C-alpha cells in the first residue's frame, strides 16, 4: 500500500506516487520515459519514444465518440529536483518520500514534482480506463521543460490529428491560461587570475529566503541569494583587500535562489571592518525585505587561517562588480494587462570552480524585442567585465487566441459545474504551448491544472481536493460532445 493509496481520485494518485518513486529531475529522464513506454505496451497503446526520450501515446476514441475531434493532452515528465541542505536523498538515483498533511501532498526534504508529475498522472489514469468516455486522446509528454523546453522544441508532432490541446502544466485551479511569456537562458563566465595568499578564511552565507518560481513568483520581489551575496562582495572589495576562494548559490536558473555562500581570504587585521560591512549589509537587507522575505540573514564566520590559492584581490573586485551590476527581478510590467510582469531576469545559479566564475540566468518577456534587449544588456555587462556568455533554450511566447472554441467550451462547462466563470489569464512563466503551436497549424490550446503551491522549492505542495475537482472537470470536458446530431461541427 502506498502513502497516497487512500486518496481520491485513486488512480490519479496511484500513478502520481509511482512517478515520485522514479528519479526524474531535468536531464535525468530516461527511467521515467521508459516507464511511460512500458505503460503503453502494457495497455496496448500506440506509442512513440524519440531520441530525446519524449513520449507520445495514443488511445482511440471510445464507442460513440469516433467522430469527435481528437484532444491532445500535454505535460512534461521532468521536475525541478531541489532538496534541503540536511536531506540525504540522492535525487539522481533515489525516489521521493511522498507524505500527506491535511489536504496537501508534499515530499519530505525535497521538491514534490507536482509540476508536472500531476499532468502525467492524469494522462495515465485516463489512458488506462475502459469506462471513461472520450474522443481520440493524443498524449504528449516532453522532456526537460524546466531547463529550456528542449523536448518541446525538438519533438515531431506531424503524426497527430488533434487541433485542440489541453496543457496540464498550470498550478492555479479555476484559472484558464491562454498566453505566456517567452524566455531564454543565459550563462555568463569570467576567468579569474589566481595567486597564493596567506590570511584568514571567512565563509559568508546568505539564507533564510523563501525562493520560488522565477516566472510565477518574481513579482513578489523576494530576495535573491545570489544578488545579495554580490552586494556583500562588492562592498567588501571596495573597502578591503579580499580574495575569492569559493562561491556557489542556487539550484536552477528558473528558481529564485534561497541560499548562497562564498569563502574569501582577508588579512586578520581587517577582520573588524570586514564583519562590520557584512553586519550593516544584513541590516539593510532585513529592512528592505520586511514583509517580503522577513527571515533573510547574511552571516560571516572564520573557518581557517593559512595559505590559499585564490582569486587575486583585483579579479575578486572585478567579479564582485560584475555580479552586482547584473540586473535581477522585474524589469517591466505589462501596459496591457494589469498586474502582469512583462519582462524579468532571475540570477539562478552561481558557481566558482578552479578559476572560472559562472552565473546562469533565466530571462523572460512577453515582448520578443524586450527579451532580446535584456539579453544584450547582460552581454554588454559581461563583456565589459572581461567575460563571455552563451544563450540556450530560447522559446517563443504563446500569443492569446481571440477566437477559441476550446476555451469557450471549457468556460461553459466550468460555469455549469461550479456556478461561476473561470478566470482567463496570461502568465509570465513559460509554457510549452508557444513552441507546440508552431508545430501544429491553427492549434487551439488552453492550460489548466490543480492547485500547487511553492513549486520548484522544498515547500512544494499539491492540493488533494483540487486534484479531484480538476479530474472531474477533465472527465466532464472529455465526455461532452462537440458534434450534435443534425449540426455540423464548428471546430
Alpha helices in 197-224 (DSSP H): none
Residue 308: strand, helix, or coil: strand
Is residue 38 within a helix (H) or strand (E), and if so which, with residue range?
Answer: helix 30-42
Report residue 308 CA to chain centroid gap: 38
SS (H, E, C) 98-155: EEEECCEEEECCECCCHHHHHHHHHHHHHHHCCCCCCCCEEEEEECCHHHCCHHHHHC
Closest CA to 344 of 463, 212, 472, 191: 212
145 part of the active site: yes
Catalytic residue, from 78, 425, 460, 482: name it: 78
Nine cell digits for residue 347: 540570477
CB 308 within 8 A of CB 316: no
Closest CA to 354 of 188, 187, 189, 192: 192
Q: At what angle do helices 368-384 and 313-325 cross, to 10 degrees?
A: 170
- The distance in angstroms from the start CA to the end CA of the chain is 44
408 part of the active site: no
Catalytic residue, from 68, 115, 138, 145: name it: 145
Nine cell digits for residue 231: 552586494
Burial of 64 from C-beta contacts in 10 A (0-12 / 13-18 / 19+) = exposed
Q: What amino acid positions are annotated as catalytic residues?
A: 78, 145
Amino acid at each position: 500500500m502506498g502513502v497516497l493509496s487512500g486518496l481520491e481520485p485513486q488512480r490519479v494518485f496511484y500513478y502520481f506516487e509511482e512517478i515520485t518513486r522514479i528519479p526524474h529531475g531535468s536531464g535525468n529522464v530516461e527511467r521515467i520515459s521508459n516507464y511511460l513506454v512500458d505503460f503503453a505496451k502494457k495497455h496496448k497503446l500506440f506509442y512513440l519514444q524519440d531520441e530525446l526520450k519524449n513520449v507520445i501515446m495514443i488511445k482511440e476514441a471510445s464507442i460513440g465518440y469516433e467522430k469527435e475531434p481528437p484532444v491532445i493532452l500535454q505535460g512534461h515528465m521532468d521536475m525541478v529536483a531541489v532538496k534541503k541542505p540536511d536531506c540525504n536523498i540522492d535525487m539522481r538515483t533515489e525516489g521521493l518520500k511522498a507524505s500527506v498533511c491535511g489536504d496537501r501532498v508534499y515530499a519530505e526534504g525535497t521538491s514534490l514534482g507536482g509540476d508536472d508529475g500531476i499532468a502525467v498522472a492524469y494522462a495515465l489514469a485516463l489512458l488506462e480506463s475502459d469506462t471513461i468516455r472520450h474522443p481520440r486522446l493524443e498524449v504528449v509528454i516532453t522532456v526537460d521543460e524546466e531547463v529550456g523546453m528542449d523536448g518541446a522544441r525538438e519533438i515531431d508532432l506531424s503524426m497527430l490529428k488533434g487541433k485542440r490541446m489541453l496543457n496540464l502544466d498550470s498550478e492555479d485551479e479555476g484559472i484558464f491560461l491562454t498566453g505566456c511569456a517567452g524566455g531564454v537562458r543565459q550563462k555568463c563566465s569570467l576567468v579569474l587570475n589566481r595567486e597564493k595568499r596567506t590570511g584568514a578564511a571567512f565563509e559568508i552565507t546568505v539564507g533564510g529566503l523563501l525562493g520560488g518560481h522565477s516566472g510565477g513568483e518574481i513579482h513578489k520581489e523576494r530576495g535573491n541569494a545570489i544578488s545579495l551575496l554580490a552586494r556583500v562582495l562588492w562592498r567588501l572589495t571596495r573597502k578591503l583587500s579580499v580574495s575569492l576562494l569559493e562561491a556557489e548559490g542556487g539550484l536552477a536558473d528558473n528558481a529564485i535562489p534561497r541560499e548562497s555562500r562564498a569563502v574569501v581570504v582577508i588579512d586578520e587585521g581587517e577582520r573588524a571592518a570586514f564583519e562590520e560591512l557584512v553586519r550593516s549589509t544584513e541590516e539593510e537587507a532585513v529592512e528592505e525585505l520586511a514583509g517580503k522575505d522577513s527571515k533573510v540573514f547574511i552571516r560571516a564566520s572564520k573557518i581557517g587561517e593559512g595559505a590559499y590559492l585564490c582569486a587575486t584581490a583585483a579579479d575578486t573586485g572585478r567579479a564582485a562588480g560584475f555580479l552586482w551590476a547584473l540586473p535581477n527581478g522585474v524589469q517591466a510590467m505589462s501596459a496591457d494587462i494589469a498586474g502582469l510582469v512583462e519582462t524579468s531576469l532571475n540570477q539562478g545559479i552561481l558557481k566558482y570552480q578552479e578559476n572560472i566564475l559562472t552565473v546562469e540566468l533565466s530571462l523572460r518577456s512577453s515582448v520578443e524585442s524586450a527579451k532580446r534587449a535584456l539579453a544584450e544588456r547582460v552581454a554588454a555587462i559581461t563583456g565589459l567585465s572581461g567575460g563571455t556568455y552563451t544563450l540556450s533554450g530560447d522559446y517563443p511566447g504563446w500569443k492569446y487566441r481571440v477566437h477559441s472554441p476550446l476555451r469557450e467550451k471549457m468556460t461553459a462547462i466550468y460555469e455549469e459545474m461550479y456556478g461561476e466563470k473561470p478566470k482567463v489569464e496570461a502568465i509570465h512563466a513559460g509554457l510549452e504551448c508557444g513552441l507546440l503551436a508552431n508545430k501544429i497549424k491553427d492549434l487551439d490550446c488552453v492550460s489548466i491544472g490543480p492547485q500547487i503551491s511553492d513549486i520548484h522549492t522544498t515547500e512544494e505542495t499539491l492540493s488533494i481536493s483540487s486534484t479531484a475537482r480538476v479530474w472531474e472537470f477533465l472527465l466532464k470536458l472529455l465526455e461532452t460532445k462537440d458534434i450534435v446530431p443534425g449540426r455540423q461541427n464548428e471546430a
